[in-house]
């Protein structure tokens, strides 16, 4: 009988020990959620590993979370399982602050005087500032970028397009009738982001007095200008993968993201460089951008000691995030981007001058996610002439207004 009781008692003690271990780990570990489901997740893993190797009091546990924003809503509603630290996108900040979902970074900044505005790219820092209070610390800026095929530019005598770092729509149109069959001037990668850049180039905005501005003359003009390129047969065919066509050497320009540099670099024989997104005018160029931001979601169980540990981690990242450049990201820390080593990365082009830094435009309008979603859903059809321009813009305006009224979640 004693022997029969011995095993269950052992199991009970083991269970208590395991639970105690988990509890201890939670108390001494910073749970860190990110939406980095691609290769960038591996680079963040390395950064976390490097930090943990310094043997901090509070180690960081990086958890890549698919559908992160949906899961965040769930844990915030229940108040259970809220991560200690998370990476969120810049466009989430206004609504999260409005709903009281973010903790202030006041204590962290007070304990680490070098975590301050002057030590980061201005747009990345300011996206986390609401009514004078700092709610986030930036990791990067990730931007729309236009890669170019050096061999095709030389083949078609278009190298001069890059002389002023501004490729215009008129310059692209000048190649009409000059390309070999199967070659194209530009693809439609991240077309919605390109539209958002033209809004700024044309002196417009996506809101007027706090109200969404989608069905506007400037939005229509932005689409019509890009539609000229498609109408001239210079854009990759509708329904084709323009990204892969660029990698295959059939497209002069690809308007994808800074993070794509690693993928392009892996293509044998692809001789490419990076410049700004094309513009409707040579006087102004804009690269639609966003930012990955460190944020502390509202969590009553987060201790002051753990918050101090978070501050130590963020200071480490400020000084040691060169690893993040390997993911093709524009690192937000000036200490990193001003280092000689950073110049080896293609995206350093975007921080090579104050003018280039200013070209990185992050939309911070409260309802921006809804507008981006509407543009992304309709951009290809509008540019290809598959739908009526005026009718579709009116529908997009209503879609955004309806989403605002419903308070539903928007695009990431």
For 74-117, what is each residue's pLDDT tens digit? 999 999 999 999 999 999 999 999 999 999 999 999 999 999 99
Instruction: Tell whether the model's pLDDT for residue 50 goes beyond 60.
Output: yes
Q: How many domains does the chain have?
A: 2
pLDDT at site 5 = 37
Extended beta strands in 281-359, E state: 287-290, 292-295, 330-331
> What average pLDDT is seen over the chain?
92
Question: In terms of Cα–Cα distance, which of 411, 313, 321 is closest to 85?
Answer: 313
**pLDDT of 324 over the 50 cut:** yes
pLDDT tens, residue by residue, 212-232: 999 999 999 999 999 999 999
Cβ atoms of residues 194 and 226 within 8 Å: yes
Share of the chain above pLDDT 70, in %: 92
- Kindly indicate the confidence band of residue 16, based on its pLDDT and cuts at 50, 70 and 90: very low
First-to-last alpha carbon distance for the chain, in angstroms, is: 61
* Residue 400 placed within a domain: yes
Q: Do 195 and 258 fall within a single domain?
A: yes
Question: Which whole number is the average pLDDT over 154-164?
Answer: 98
What is the predicted pLDDT for the residue at 1? 34
Q: Based on the fold, state whether residues 94 and 242 are members of the same structural domain.
A: no
Lookup: tokens for 138: 């930036």
**In this structure, is residue 1 part of a structural domain?**
no
pLDDT at 7 over 90: no
Is position 358 within any domain? no
| Residues 47 and 88 reside in one and the same domain | yes
Asked, for residue 122, whether it belongs to a domain, the answer is yes
Quick check: is 179 in a domain? Answer: yes
How many helices and strands (H and E) does the chain possess? 18, 17
Identify whether residues 379 and 259 lie together within a single domain.
yes
For residue range 396-409, what is the model confidence (pLDDT) as tens digits?
999 999 999 997 54
What mean pLDDT do residues 186-209 have? 98
> Does residue 203 share a domain with residue 243?
yes
Q: What pLDDT, on a 0 to 100 scale, did the predictor assign at position 24?
A: 37
Q: Is residue 13 part of a domain?
A: no
Write out the two tokens for 157: 């005598």
The residue ranking higher by pLDDT, 295 or 300, is 295
In a domain, 412, yes or no: no
The secondary structure of residue 236, as a DSSP letter, is: P
Looking at the fold, whether 267 and 329 belong to one and the same domain comes out as no
Q: Which two tokens stand for residue 131?
A: 């009514």
17 within domain boundaries = no
In angstroms, the Cα distances linking 386 to 86, 150, 186, 379 are 40, 32, 19, 10
Instruction: Give the mean pLDDT of 271-287.
Output: 97
Identify the helix (H) or strand (E) that includes residue 130. Answer: strand 129-130
Report long-range pairs for 64-73 (Cβ below 8 Å, ≥24 apart).
64/34, 64/35, 64/36, 64/37, 65/33, 65/34, 65/35, 66/35, 66/37, 68/33, 68/34, 68/35, 69/35, 69/409, 69/412, 70/409, 71/33, 72/33, 72/297, 73/409
The pair phi, psi for residue 278, each rounded to 5°, is: -60, 160
One domain, residues 196 and 262: yes
Model pLDDT, residue 27: 83
What share of the chain in percent tops pLDDT 90? 91
Write down the pTM of the prediction: 0.90
Q: Tokens for 349, please give them.
A: 């082009």
Q: 271 with 214, same domain?
A: yes
Which CATH number characterizes residue 123's domain? 3.40.190.10
DSSP 340-374: GGGGGSGGGGGGSSHHHHHTEEE---TTHHHHHHH
Q: Do 191 and 206 belong to one domain? A: yes
The answer on pLDDT for 8 being more than 80 is: no
The residue range of the domain holding 264 is 143-289+367-406
Pair 207, 255 in one domain: yes
Averaged pLDDT for residues 151-157: 98
pLDDT at 190 over 60: yes
Q: Residue 30 in 3-state DSSP? A: strand
What is the model's pLDDT at position 26?
67
Whether 332 and 221 share a structural domain: no
Reported as type and span, the H/E element at residue 334 is: helix 334-337
**Tell me, what's the pLDDT at 407?**
79
Give the residues across from 138 on adjacent strands. 293
Tell me: do 149 and 271 sit in the same domain.
Answer: yes
Residue 52: alpha-carbon gap to chain centroid: 26
């Amino acid at each position: 009988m004693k022997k029969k009781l011995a095993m269950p008692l052992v199991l009970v003690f083991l269970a208590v020990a395991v639970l105690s271990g988990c509890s201890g780990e939670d108390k001494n570990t910073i749970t860190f959620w990110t939406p980095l489901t691609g290769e960038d997740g591996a680079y963040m893993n390395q950064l976390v590993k490097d930090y943990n190797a310094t043997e901090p009091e509070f180690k960081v546990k990086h958890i890549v979370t698919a559908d992160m924003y949906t899961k965040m809503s769930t844990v915030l509603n229940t108040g259970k399982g809220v991560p200690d630290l998370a990476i969120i996108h810049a466009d989430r900040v206004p609504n999260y602050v409005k709903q009281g979902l973010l903790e202030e970074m006041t204590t962290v900044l007070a304990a680490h005087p070098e975590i301050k505005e002057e030590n980061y790219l201005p747009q990345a820092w300011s996206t986390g500032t609401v009514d004078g209070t700092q709610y986030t610390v930036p990791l990067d800026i990730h931007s729309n970028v236009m890669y170019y095929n050096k061999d095709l530019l030389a083949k078609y005598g278009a190298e001069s397009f890059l002389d002023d770092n501004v490729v215009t729509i008129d310059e692209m149109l000048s190649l009409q009738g000059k390309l070999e069959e199967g070659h194209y001037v530009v693809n439609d990668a991240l077309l919605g982001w390109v539209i958002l850049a033209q809004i700024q180039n044309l002196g417009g905005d996506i809101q007027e007095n706090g109200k969404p501005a989608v069905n506007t003359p400037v939005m229509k003009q932005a689409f019509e200008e890009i539609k000229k390129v498609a109408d001239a047969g210079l854009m990759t065919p509708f329904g084709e993968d323009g990204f892969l066509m660029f990698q295959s050497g059939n497209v002069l320009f690809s308007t994808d993201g800074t993070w794509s540099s690693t993928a392009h670099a892996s293509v044998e024989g692809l001789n490419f460089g990076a410049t700004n997104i094309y513009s409707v005018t040579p006087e102004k160029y804009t690269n639609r951008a966003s930012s990955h931001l460190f944020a502390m979601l509202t969590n009553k169980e987060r201790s002051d000691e753990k918050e101090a540990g978070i501050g130590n981690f963020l200071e480490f990242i400020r000084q040691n995030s060169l690893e993040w450049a390997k993911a093709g990201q524009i690192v937000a820390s000036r200490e990193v981007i001003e280092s000689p080593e950073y110049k080896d990365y293609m995206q350093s082009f975007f921080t090579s001058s104050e003018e280039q830094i200013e070209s990185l435009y992050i939309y911070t309008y409260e309802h921006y996610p809804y507008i981006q979603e509407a543009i992304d859903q309709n951009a290809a059809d509008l540019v290809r002439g598959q739908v009526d321009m005026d009718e579709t813009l009116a529908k997009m305006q209503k879609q955004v207004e309806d989403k605002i009224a419903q308070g539903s979640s928007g695009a990431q």
